[in-house]
Structure 1
């Protein structure tokens, strides 16, 4: 094989790598959001005239590069969260990148199959397939490509009826159109004006809808009743839960006392896992001195030990206490982090816990009821639960009271990931829950980023990363529902159905020719 031929055979693989690099640089945290509008163009070029199997491998390479670059912080997470050595963290990153990279692998395979006969099918096949796979492919850390646009409020408001999957559809549709326009111009010096016009009209409609929804939200915000909430960020990492417990709790109390004296909030929020509490029932009381004698309701994260249904359970929980320390409500984390809060198949093979002594064994929560603060209902989630749209949608349904929560609160500990892009990725993903459910989001963390997000998904105020500070905000109390709240990920299921029909049509057409 000549040098020229060798170089030509390597070009598709290089293009796949370029797509992967553009993917993670355009994502939240790196924040070059505009790169996401064309990150798939090199990969689509590489897929032309490839066998389906080769298309799969090209897509997987792009996915591994994209997720490997975007999730580099996984290495530190394995070290901090599970006490694993550095090499195990690298192995964990490779596994996670390979697993999540299957989204691009399957997408590339499917796109190639659907566009072999008619190249212009890429205009619908690419976004439809991507949206279907994002919905159906199981991921430990979901990372919807639509989250890359979290700062472009006019494009993200469609999430109130289509969810974050709708924004992902839009991003990939832009990619497909840019690829098709580039291809037609390069090969035939022709501009496919219909495709250009369709994308233009789509963007105008999306941006127009965004403007209408933003104006409606702003009008409602001007009249909304508010709750003053104070967040305490002590800049104490996960290690301090073991090495400096008393000091960490003292700092939370002292910073909260000063916050209350200065701002007189209606609620103070401490992050995940601040206290370890043992209770006989969920209706008990805690000594007010342990909570700082704040004379203010307090929502805080705790490692809860409780005797229920004849067994002792350990839960990653949130407790809401009144000014006297009486517990007004509790929520146990439902979506647990594998290898950190439980070990998969650990109940069947208990020996696994002895191999990973730093892994906890938490009981998964069952209740999705909101917590009641006076006349107001708070939907509470813990840690990375706020990146799962379906779970938050469950928490936002009408509870036993027949009312929807008026505010969403998330408490988390992002210190496991060091000073990386993960806290920003986490916040960006979480901000879409505000649009999908049209509720303000309060996020309290121990090392950052703590934030207030309004019902339009805009980050109103936030702390830094690895900083010691308090944050106070007036949180709007909201009522009403959304199309997404009622219908869920309908666009994902619709795209899945269209994909199945598309593959069936291609198969039948092939059989008819033979």
Structure 2
């Protein structure tokens, strides 16, 4: 009998890890099975409520780490980036394991209907706090898995991504807790009321928000990325081969002409496609000024720009009359690959007479809440994003930018050199998308994009929901804090008694 119990425990341990890790892997990776993330924590929560503290920590650690790291076996990321991802996953795994263990303790100890809130508010608070200090912003949030689940993600316009993370954690924790107390029908029913009421309200709000008509103007946008190998890219970026630079410049000029002939009001090019240099045989800025004027289109180009012994990763905006309207410098640089650059600190805002107000960010900037939220507060209608990417992270990185548009109520046009070219509206609907990896030659994308209105509840109130989760988690853990304080208060007395105890 004892051996059978041990076998069952081992089987439960393995099954919980297998189910949860598979669900995390297939929902957070490129497979895009967003529905699985709703189920991913469920086996772990059920297991935790029937296992020991140590077993809970172990099952959570293995399941979460494997589920969020397995995609690396299929990737071709640089070793430096893989190391950074693994390090981040270890920290996230430790936090997740501790939160699950706390959820287990509070549920078993106090048998209260608010138990599922412990897990949901705790994990959301962790994601939020991490985003404030991480060098990679919000990129690891589970909320991005829902980017094609349009009714759910509309809540980001009120709460940011934190409302989505909260809901993704609350539902499975609520189901597991209700199942654990299934013999106590009144308590079980009471536990389920909050999670499913919030889910229904979120879906109703999302459906309503999607049906709201936008009163902003529309704009015809063209995006282009010329295919390059890694060797070609570094050669062109460093101006090592003037002939190769000239060849790619001619290709991009031809692409701009094609897109302008298709009626594009704006043509967007990727990040860091050329480097401005005094040693160049041609004036790149003047060339793009002439090109924009010749074809009568706005032109947004990612260039490396040296100034006063500093090198900036910049985006230049050229007007149809050939003027340089703006130079925006990337604020969030990717370590260690962009250590040679100096980060910018200013927004890139352009107000046009008939095509709305624009914002400019570059690639990794969109992984962070700011400056994206600051642009929304300025009332921009569209964000233009020159980007690079790493092939394997095309969708993972592109969907983050789409979420920023929902949060800030503005459209997004993004050009990933080794990723995706995307056009999305302020509700996150994909108007146009093309993969550069699938192209035999240059990748061209054109589309008519309805501009957003800028400003949202979230941009006005900021990360209120993230702070709210911290407060809720702290309040719910008050009994646990009191227990610890009482333990430490009584420890000296217990030690004194043990010393005076006769042998």
Do the structures match in fold with TM over 0.5? yes
Task: Report the aligned-residue RMSD.
Answer: 2.9
Match of 1:135 among 124, 128, 142: 128
Higher relative contact order, structure no. (Cα contacts within 8 Å, ≥ 6 residues apart): 1
Cross-structure match for 1:258: 258
Tell me the SS of whatever aligns to 2:76. helix
Cross-structure match for 1:401: none
How far is the alpha carbon of 1:91 from its aligned partner? 4.5
Cross-structure match for 2:336: 339
Q: Distance in 1 between matches of 2:337 and 2:108?
A: 44
Which deviations, in whole Å up to 9, do the C-alpha atoms of 1:141-165 show, x marking residues without a partner?
Answer: 4222122111121111111111111
Q: Which has the larger radius of gyration?
A: 2
Q: Distance in 1 between matches of 2:14 and 2:476?
A: 27
Q: Distance in 2 between matches of 1:69 and 1:196?
A: 33
- Is 1:199 the equivalent of 2:195? yes
Which deviations, in whole Å up to 9, do the C-alpha atoms of 1:373-413 show, x marking residues without a partner?
Answer: 55643111111221222331123333xxxxx2221111111
CA contact (8 A) 1:72 1:93 kept: no
Q: Distance in 1 between matches of 2:33 and 2:277?
A: 46
Cross-structure match for 1:406: 381
Match of 2:210 among 194, 214, 226: 214
How has the CA–CA distance of structure 1 residues 501 and 192 changed in structure 2, closer, same or farther, with 3 Å as cutoff? closer
How has the CA–CA distance of structure 1 residues 389 and 103 changed in structure 2, closer, same or farther, with 3 Å as cutoff? farther
How far is the alpha carbon of 1:251 from its aligned partner? 1.9
How far is the alpha carbon of 1:442 from its aligned partner? 0.8
Q: Distance in 2 between matches of 1:70 and 1:100?
A: 16
Match of 1:158 among 155, 158, 170: 155
How far is the alpha carbon of 1:278 from its aligned partner? 4.1
Further displaced range: 38-47 or 449-458: 38-47
Further displaced range: 125-134 or 246-255: 246-255
Q: Distance in 1 between matches of 2:106 and 2:229?
A: 49
Cross-structure match for 2:222: 230
Q: Distance in 2 between matches of 1:459 and 1:28?
A: 19
Q: Distance in 1 between matches of 2:426 and 2:414?
A: 14
CA contact (8 A) 2:267 2:299 kept: yes
Q: Distance in 1 between matches of 2:54 and 2:329?
A: 45
Cross-structure match for 1:394: 374
- Is 1:485 the equivalent of 2:468? no
The within-5 A match list for 1:409-428 is: 409-414=384-389, 416=390, 418=391, 420=392, 422-428=393-399
- Is 1:63 the equivalent of 2:82? no
- Provide structure 2 residue ranges, at least 5 long, that are not aligned to the other structure: 236-243, 279-283, 491-503
The within-5 A match list for 1:31-70 is: 31-48=32-49, 52=53, 55-70=56-71
How far is the alpha carbon of 1:330 from its aligned partner? 1.0
How has the CA–CA distance of structure 1 residues 67 and 248 changed in structure 2, closer, same or farther, with 3 Å as cutoff? farther
Q: Distance in 2 between matches of 1:257 and 1:97?
A: 45
Tell me the SS of whatever aligns to 2:415. strand
Q: Distance in 1 between matches of 2:315 and 2:400?
A: 21
How far is the alpha carbon of 1:61 from its aligned partner? 2.3
Tell me the SS of whatever aligns to 1:287. helix
CA contact (8 A) 1:300 1:319 kept: yes
Cross-structure match for 1:295: 296
Cross-structure match for 1:365: 344
How has the CA–CA distance of structure 1 residues 288 and 151 changed in structure 2, closer, same or farther, with 3 Å as cutoff? closer
Cross-structure match for 1:476: 450
Which deviations, in whole Å up to 9, do the C-alpha atoms of 1:172-194 show, x marking residues without a partner?
Answer: 11111221233344x67899333
Which deviations, in whole Å up to 9, do the C-alpha atoms of 1:214-262 show, x marking residues without a partner?
Answer: 111xx22xx431222111122334432234543333222111111212x
Cross-structure match for 1:347: none
Cross-structure match for 1:355: none
- Provide structure 1 residue ranges, at least 5 long, that are not aligned to the other structure: 83-88, 343-360, 399-403
Match of 1:384 among 358, 364, 375: 364
